[in-house]
Amino acid sequence: MKLAVLSGKGGAGKTLVSVNLACAAGKAVYVDCDVEEPNGRLFLKPTDLVCEDVYTMLPSFNEDSCIGCRRCVDFCRFNALALVRRKHRLFEEVCHSCGGCSLVCPMDAVSEVKKKVGQVEYGWHGRVRAVTGILRLGEASAMPVVNAALAHLAEAELSIIDCPPGSGCAVMGCVASADMCLLIAEPTAFGLHNLKMVYELAALLKKPIGIVINRELSPYPPLDEFCAENSLPVLGRIPYSEKYARMSAAGEILTESDAEASGIFHALLSRIGGELQ
């Protein structure tokens, strides 16, 4: 079972829930797709790390074969190419690696070279396999690294996808790979506003949805009303607790150090299982 954990708003508790569910399950695969700011590894501290580089392809131009026809420049929809004094200039940050320039070149003067855009590392925390996608700083597009991390999802056991915030293309890719979505809601007006967007996204892709309300200080009725109106099951509520905040700040895994928290996440895990039946 592949479970996507998402929230829209940042800082709602995606990583907290993902990591604790993986540990409560015992045997699981945890995949951190928040490649811009991956944090699950800070809690899981995986050992026996293996690291793989992630590349995209960039065009490379053989200026000796080039006849200056400009077909490549004219074809590029992303304005990533210019031809200045018969030499090509590539604006790497806007190149989408579509391969169009090499396709249209009549002289076969365009080849492709690998460019490192990030890495995927994986290791173990007990019987939890921890996979982390890490975007190289300065790179704009997270998609290649997200896809490389998603390639580690396992069919046989519980795989948890810790998604990026927002509801853009990377989140869409994660949700498309999942069997079910767990939406983490912060009980504030900000949290609800952003939850509605990821709810639309998960509903559009027709995935079963469960809600977890995190850091509940006091009830926020508009959130419960929204869940009721859309028949969204609230599968768990995690209270605000100074103790949890302190433990999380220090990188501790709640299920492994606190009996009450362990109860919350084991109960959540069984309700997720029940929802999918």
Partner 1 sequence: MKKLLILSGKGGTGKTTTASAFIQFAMARAFADCDVDAPNLHLITHVGAEPEKTAFRGGNKAHIDPAKCINCGECARKCRFNAIKAAGAVRYVDEFACEGCGVCEYICPRKAISLQPDIAGELTLYRAGRAFSTAQLRMGRGNSGKLVSAVKSALDAAAPDAAFEIIDGSPGVGCPVIASISGVDMVLIIAEPSLAGLSDMERILRAAQIFGVPTAVCVNKYDVSPQQTAHIEAYCQSRGVPLAGRIPYDTHVPDAINAGRCIADTDCPARDALKRVFKNVVAMMGGAKALEIAAAD
Q: Does position 97 bind partner 1 by CB under 8 A?
A: yes
H helices of 186-239, where? Answer: 189-204, 221-229
Task: Mark the segment that binds partner 1 (CB under 8 A) among 20-28, 199-207, 231-239, 258-266.
Answer: 199-207
- Which residue, 50 or 140, is less far from partner 1 as judged by CB? 140
H helices of 76-176, where? Answer: 100-104, 143-150, 169-176
- Which residue, 188 or 262, is less far from partner 1 as judged by CB? 188
Interface with partner 1 (CB under 8 A), residue from 49, 50, 103, 151? 103
Interface with partner 1 (CB under 8 A), residue from 165, 209, 238, 254? 165
Q: How far is the CB of 142 from partner 1 (least distance, A)?
A: 5
Task: Mark the segment that binds partner 1 (CB under 8 A) among 23-31, 120-128, 161-169, 225-233.
Answer: 161-169
CB atoms within 10 A of CB 189: 11
Q: Does position 200 bind partner 1 by CB under 8 A?
A: yes
- Which residue, 26 or 99, is less far from partner 1 as judged by CB? 99
44-73 residues near partner 1, rule: CB under 8 A? none
- Which residue, 4 or 12, is less far from partner 1 as judged by CB? 12
Q: Alpha-carbon distance 161 to 175, whole Å?
A: 9
Q: Output DSSP code: residue 222.
A: H
Size of the site for partner 1 (CB under 8 A): 59
CB 143 within 8 A of CB 170: yes
Rounded to 5, what percent of the chain is helix, strand, coil?
Answer: 35, 30, 35
Q: How far is the CB of 64 from partner 1 (least distance, A)?
A: 25
Look-up of token digits 């975007």 = 135
Q: Output DSSP code: residue 242.
A: H
Q: Does position 39 bind partner 1 by CB under 8 A?
A: yes
- Which residue, 143 or 272, is less far from partner 1 as judged by CB? 143
Interface with partner 1 (CB under 8 A), residue from 29, 142, 213, 227? 142
* Distance, first Cα to last Cα, the chain: 12
Q: Alpha-carbon distance 182 to 236, whole Å?
A: 10
Closest CA to 173 of 153, 192, 194, 193: 153
Task: Mark the segment that binds partner 1 (CB under 8 A) among 20-28, 60-68, 83-91, 131-139.
Answer: 131-139
| Residue 214: C-alpha distances to residues 105, 159, 162, 234 (Å) | 54, 21, 15, 11
For residue 81, what are its two tokens? 């190419």
Q: How far is the CB of 159 from partner 1 (least distance, A)?
A: 20
| Residue 277: C-alpha distances to residues 1, 173, 256, 272, 274 (Å) | 12, 24, 28, 9, 5
Residues of the shown chain interacting with partner 1 in the complex, contacts defined by CB under 8 A: 8-12, 15, 34, 36-37, 39, 42-43, 75, 77-78, 93, 96-100, 103-104, 135, 137-143, 164-169, 171-172, 176, 186, 188-190, 193-194, 197, 200-201, 204, 217, 220, 242, 245-246, 248-251
